[in-house]
Structure 1
């Protein structure tokens, strides 16, 4: 076993995206076209990632589709259900799923993830999103879709409630003494009794404290509001910057924000979501990339671009004219992404065609031979651009290539483990265990 000479090591997750995350990935010759609804396919990915000692598998999710949505979005498993199934065929890999704070109730979500944590033996993680797509309201009684800032205010209070519910029971509250008839210790039971601006939740939660005290909280989003939410509440953040300079700036910004909430830098891990394309040489890489791009039509690309702008219809514009002035469109949707799309198009003088194709089929930033990719990951990690990476393969074979060809190089460098550190996701991420907020209050009163 390689001896680790580093004070910290790279963490890895992989995203479960069926046949792929672009409009035409399912058409690739090596793709399993129904992968998004194929349990055997998903199980094999999770087992493969666990054999490579990945920290977790990650499920993104959304609650609104139309005929222009990415094929993977049209027909896919609900995250908690799928992760519960994966818990039965894996032993140590973390299971992270996306649930919206804008279109769900805190009590239900707290109970679902606590249950998943027990079912998996302490491997549950919740990716907190606020839901950018306004069309989602059509599936939830047409209640008004909250504005961007309000969504984060809701999420802030929502997380306070969920964490309080997870603290309903102290450790060893259930004594289950058959001789005395005492099932639980009432002194270790706490009702949150929360009354706030957006939620009224009494509690307590009807499931005991979980194996890792509470599930790991991820936050997805790069806006200032998202960074603040992560700095206050999250154990990890899922983000994406296009280059190392931007990633380092984001890393510094988020880590600095932790101080205002009384937290330390190692209390929050920053994961960069990265596209990866591995080849034997530049000719092989270009062949794979061109094979991928030829699958996506300009119509597909316009539909993909439109999703970020509240499913805006870009077919109304001249393809080879400069990218249109959209004003504030997108600010209440995927704000950080739409701001970037507008900025890049303006700075480079891109046409609509160029912009749409660039976003629908971008060349992955981590592209090269196995050694080149390993070196690039090392640079990002050592220069504090990321604590870890969530791998998204450019082709159906990329994850297998990454595991077989890149991981061994990182292990030889001492940058990546050869065995899991523990049995829970919290242990493997090297995150400290949280205190029960009610127990802390009692100790202070004593």
Structure 2
């Protein structure tokens, strides 16, 4: 039965100049937006004024001569969010860090620090990195295979959370009279020895204000969905997630249906597809705005952007106005869910290569229209329990965020679908997620000892009925 008091969760992606690869050319968008602090400050303040749940910064670890312009010169997310925490007070701050090319101790420390600096508003978007070239920037000869990356990510997340439990809540007394700074009995070493990581601990920062910062996961492949069900708090999905209610609900039910085998409830994981609304006072104005945005990109650049999803495959070798080429398994190892969707749409709709490339460069979908029309679409997806909310990507920024906050959010608020004021101070509070209990404090209450992490990992595989997601080989 639908909960009539249920509210949408909405975040804003601060994607430099915008989601569209030529967005830096758009009037009103700062060409240097990717590294412009005033631009980021404006977007986070606008998102907070709209009472959005969080602001999100994506990241990547490899560029080349054909990378999108806004990817060539970009700020590191955790550093940027730490600065933005000083320009905001309530909105959550979520940043991307790769589990493939980072160490758990460093990640645990980074996000615990951000959580303290922001007063409990930090979130980690855990990714496994899809671009092969990232290996060459991290002293590795090859990029790990898809299954190996997700196996590593699963262990990485468990180690990070283990480190976040290093200190019990009241471990630091800092009593000047007695000279006692902390209680050593409430400090805990992890002593983890696993397949991918050996980490002693403890973490050298006290427990996070949220217990654990919120963990987001962005993969929509089979392995990605399994990792999300196992340990994430929220899932980002691509814009394909709001093409139809039926397709969105299939994904929603698929991921939520995996939670029970990990001992989790359906409400412990949020599904948040990305959307890029184009808002106009009239339908005609919105359509004209979309065409202006789409017209920023040339077919040559659209083909390069399309190639990015397929491991920089060269699409210039094919005729532009003939059916989309049969690519076989090209691109299957990395952006599997994205490339499968592109190929499926081209096949089902009979798209030419030109049409598929331009559509991919500036996805249109059902969210081009008046504020009322856009609110109607979002409400339908939400009421059908096909989503828990959305993340605003914005073809061009800051216009994409400004228009949504100024014109769509008030309608959602009037309909009782979105908050009018913040009711909590933490990101967990905004998202309706419980604060995790410290494993050692809980074991102390029960008169026992916390289960070692290595044993937890082994038991988790038994619960899932398999050794994976460590054995996941499907992209």
Q: 1:439 aligns with which of 437, 441, 449?
A: 441
Q: Spell out, residue by residue over 1:294-337, the C-alpha distance to the aligned partner (whole angstroms, 9 max, x if none).
A: 21101110110011111112112222232222221111111110
Alignment counterpart, residue 425 of structure 2, candidates 415, 423, 426: 423
Matched, 1:191 2:193: no
Residue of structure 2 equivalent to 1:399: 401
Q: Distance in 2 between matches of 1:178 and 1:168?
A: 23
Please list every run of 5 or more consecutive structure 2 residues that lacks an aligned counterpart in the other structure.
449-475
Task: Measure the CA separation in 1 of the matches of 2:284 and 2:338.
Answer: 31
Structure 2 match to 1:159: 157
Residue 32 of structure 2 corresponds to which residue in structure 1? 34
Question: Equivalences for 1:137-176 in 2 at 5 Å?
Answer: 137-176=135-174
Please name the residue that 1:245 is paired with: 246
Q: Structure 1 residue 103 and structure 2 residue 104: aligned?
A: no
**Alpha carbons 2:283, 2:368 under 8 Å: kept:** no
Alpha-carbon contact 1:21-1:70 (below 8 Å) kept = no
Aligned residue for 1:264? Answer: 265
SS in 1 for 2:34: helix
Please give the per-residue CA displacement for 1:83-124, whole angstroms capped at 9, x wherever unaligned: 000001100100000000001111001000000000000000
Q: Displacement, 1:349?
A: 2.7
Give the aligned partner of residue 81 of structure 2: 83
Displacement after TM superposition at 1:287 (Å):
1.0
Structure 1 contact 25–31 (Cα < 8 Å) conserved: yes
In structure 2, the residue matched to 1:60 is 58
Partner of 1:221, secondary structure, is: coil
CA contact (8 A) 1:277 1:364 kept: no
**Are residue 69 (structure 1) and residue 70 (structure 2) matched?**
no
The residue number in structure 2 matching 1:220 is 218
**Partners of 2:362 and 2:395 within 8 A in 1:** no
| 1:354 corresponds to 2:355 | yes
In 1, are the aligned partners of 2:53 and 2:431 still within 8 Å (CA)? yes
Structure 1 residue 367, shift from structure 2 partner = 1.8
Q: Secondary structure at the match of 1:99?
A: strand
Take 1:273 and 1:167, find their aligned partners in 2: how far apart are those partners?
Answer: 32
Cα pair 1:95 1:125 within 8 Å, conserved: yes
Residue pair 2:366, 2:377 contacting (<8 A) in 1 also: no
Alignment partners' CA distance in 2, 1:81 and 1:100: 15
For 1:371 and 1:282, the matched residues in 2 are separated by 10
- 1:171 Cα deviation after fit: 0.4
Out of 167-176 and 407-416, give the one that drifted further.
407-416
Contact 2:20 2:395 in 1 (8 A): no
Alignment check: 8 A CA contact 2:219 2:225 kept: yes
- Residue 49 of structure 1 is matched in structure 2 by 47
2:465 alignment counterpart:
none
Q: Distance in 2 between matches of 1:296 and 1:44?
A: 26
Q: Which moved more, 1:336-345 or 1:116-125?
A: 336-345
Cα-Cα RMSD: 1.3
Match of 1:368 in 2: 369
TM-score (norm 1): 0.97
5+ unaligned residues in a row in structure 1: which ranges? none
Q: Pick from 228, 231, 234 the counterpart of residue 233 of structure 1.
A: 231
Residue deviations 1:37-92 (CA, integer Å, cap 9, x gap): 10001001101111111110011110001111111111111000000000011001
1:364 positional shift: 4.0
Give distance in 2, aligned partners of 1:283 and 1:215.
43
Distance in 1 (alpha carbons) for counterparts of 2:444 and 2:197: 25
Aligned to 2:204: 206
**Aligned residue for 2:129?**
131
**Partners of 1:320 and 1:352 within 8 A in 2:** yes
Measure the CA separation in 2 of the matches of 1:377 and 1:293. 23
Give the whole-Å Cα distance in 2 for the aligned partners of 1:37 and 1:234: 29
**So what's the TM-score if we normalise by structure 2?**
0.91
Return the alpha-carbon distance in structure 2 between the equivalents of residues 137 and 428 of structure 1. Answer: 36
Paired position in structure 1 for 2:19: 21
Distance 1:438 1:338 in 2: 44
Q: Could you tell me whether the CA contact under 8 Å between 1:275 and 1:365 is conserved in 2?
A: no
Write the distance in 2 (CA, Å) between the matches of 1:315 and 1:438: 58
Q: Tell me the secondary structure at the aligned position of residue 323 of structure 1.
A: coil
3-state SS of 2:96 partner: strand
Q: Distance in 1 between matches of 2:146 and 2:441?
A: 35
